Structure 1
Amino acid sequence: MELQKSTWPEVENYLQSCQTILIPIGSTEQHGPSGMIGTDSMIAEAITKELARRSGLMCAPVLSIGMAEHHMAFAGTISLQPQTLSLVIRDVVHSLEVHGFAEFIFINGHGGNGPVLQRTFQEDVTNCRFYNWYMGAETRKLRALLYADQEGRHATPSEIAVVQYLDESTLRNVACDPVCAPALAYEGAQDMRDKHPDGRIGANVSLADPVDGKRLFETSVDDLMATLIKDGTIAPPQHPSERG
């Protein structure tokens, strides 16, 4: 169930039986010469919508602009300051609390949002938690199997593959040199570009493939479903023999 595609009476009806909402959060930032600027938000939104479909939980609109100050030397990146993003998160949660929502699960697509989410949850809001789509146990295993040490840290083949699966019009045939980018320490946006001039960090994007993207997408949703069952947010599916 999507908040954006619901009427207010439908939301009220949902709240009579469930007060949990899923909130996708991503970023609008460069992802190398072949990755979409909307990569993090596209993945977070798609995975959260599928998670909502399978779990029966409501899905909020994606928060598509995150903390991406370290990518601001690349054209197209839009960033919120950490304190601004924290205020946005707080206001979104407060707005939903007013209507009766009481449990807020953020599905995160951008590592740079993590510290802001953690700090905001500790200091300003309650009953919130977040999961990174790419950090579930089986998803991490699959990423390692597919890409090993060429997965890298940014503009990774895994995230580009998922976007290719979601929208094949995003495929770009770009030759990168070197094939696998270096992964160097940096300080600030300009230093990031100086040391990683095409925007990749430690990644070999030539390994990205939409077929693998489908596997990663489905594995991530499975991981997240298992997590929601384990933490008691949703009930495990009943075996046919257990149904009355």
Structure 2
Amino acid sequence: MYVADQTWPELGDYVAEESVAVVPLGSTEQHGPHLPLATDHLIAEGLAREAADRTGFLCTPTVNVGVSPHHRQFHGTMWVDGPQFRDYVESLTRNLAYHGIDRVVYVNAHGGNVQHLREVGRRLRDDGTLYAIEWMWDESIPDLVEEAFEQNGPHGGPKETAMIQHLAPELVREEELESARDGGVRDIEAAAHLRKNGARTFYDAVENSENGVFGDQTGATPEIGERLFEAAAEQLVELLEWLDGRRLDDLLAPAHVDPQPGSRRE
């Protein structure tokens, strides 16, 4: 159920019986010469909508701009800073809580959002507002992703290429797949020289990859993308159903261990 397509009485009927919502989040940032800037938020929205359709749970509009300053040197990349992103997502989620939602899954497709979504989830759980967790699509199916590609990559690589070939093939510049591979970092281990004595010496993607991408994009196909999408959607559905079946009290922050502070004071 997509919230923006419903009327307010219909949503009233929903929250009278259900309390789960999915919030898709991505980014608008460079993904090489072959993929659109919309890559991450297209993947997040596609998976969130699919899982909502399969389960009947509520899906909100997508947060299209995320924490992406590490891609800022590439044309068109948009970003918000971490504190503003956290405050925005927290405010949006508190809005859901006001309307009766008490369990939220952040359906995320951008690595730069992860730590911030975890922080927002902790804030909301610790003050007893609701239970919110971050879910990253490729982390739900790591074995399948690893099996599918000989040279994978964390950004603009074959896994994201295959997903967009499946979801929005008209947006993939197929003629640029080889240049994406050859102008980027095909083997992620080739960037290991940017780590010194256990420290990461880089901050921005352009310091690692001239065209901002990693992996061998020529290994991607729409068929592989469909397999990845279906497997990830199934994982998300199972997560939502698990979440729906838990007592809220069991999801919120546990009490302090015994003895309770001050329990022996006179």
Return the match for 1:195 from 208, 214, 217. Answer: 208
1:167 lines up with 2:168 in the alignment? yes
Gaps of 5+ in 1: 236-244
* CA gap 1:234/1:225 in 2 versus in 1, 3 angstroms: farther
Q: Bigger radius of gyration, 1 or 2? A: 2
1:180-231 per-residue CA deviation (whole Å, 9 max, x = no partner) reads: 5353245233xx3143111113x111111111111111111111122233x3
Partner of 1:85: 85
Query: What secondary structure sits across from 1:224 in the alignment?
Result: helix
1:119-140 per-residue CA deviation (whole Å, 9 max, x = no partner) reads: 122235541111111111xx22
- Structure 1 runs (4+) greater than 2 angstroms displaced: 123-126, 178-189, 226-229
* CA gap 1:127/1:179 in 2 versus in 1, 3 angstroms: closer
Partner of 1:143: 145
2:122 is matched by which residue type in structure 1?
Answer: Q
Q: How much identity, in percent, do the aligned residues show?
A: 28
Q: Tell me the TM-score normalised to structure 1 length.
A: 0.88
RMSD of aligned residue pairs (Cα, Å): 1.8
Q: Tell me the TM-score normalised to structure 2 length.
A: 0.81
Give how far 1:45 is off. 0.1
Give how far 1:36 is off. 1.4
After TM superposition, the structure 1 = structure 2 runs for residues 111-126 of structure 1, keeping only pairs within 5 Å, are 111-124=111-124, 126=130
Distance in 2 (CA, whole Å) between partners of 1:74 and 1:85 is 21
2:79 is matched by which residue type in structure 1?
Answer: S
Distance in 2 (CA, whole Å) between partners of 1:211 and 1:224 is 20
Gaps of 5+ in 2: 195-200, 247-266
1:223 lines up with 2:235 in the alignment? yes
Task: Verify the 8 A CA contact 2:30 2:75 in the aligned structure 1.
Answer: yes
Task: Verify the 8 A CA contact 1:181 1:196 in the aligned structure 2.
Answer: no
The worse-fitting range, judged by mean Cα deviation, of 173-182 and 127-136 is: 173-182
2:202 is matched by which residue type in structure 1?
Answer: E
1:15-39 per-residue CA deviation (whole Å, 9 max, x = no partner) reads: 0100111100111111111111110
Partner of 2:41: 41
Distance in 2 (CA, whole Å) between partners of 1:233 and 1:161 is 31
Give how far 1:178 is off. 5.2
- Across the two proteins, how many residue pairs are aligned to each other? 228
Partner of 2:20: 20
Task: Verify the 8 A CA contact 1:180 1:205 in the aligned structure 2.
Answer: no
Query: What secondary structure sits across from 1:134 in the alignment?
Result: helix
1:122 is matched by which residue type in structure 2?
Answer: R
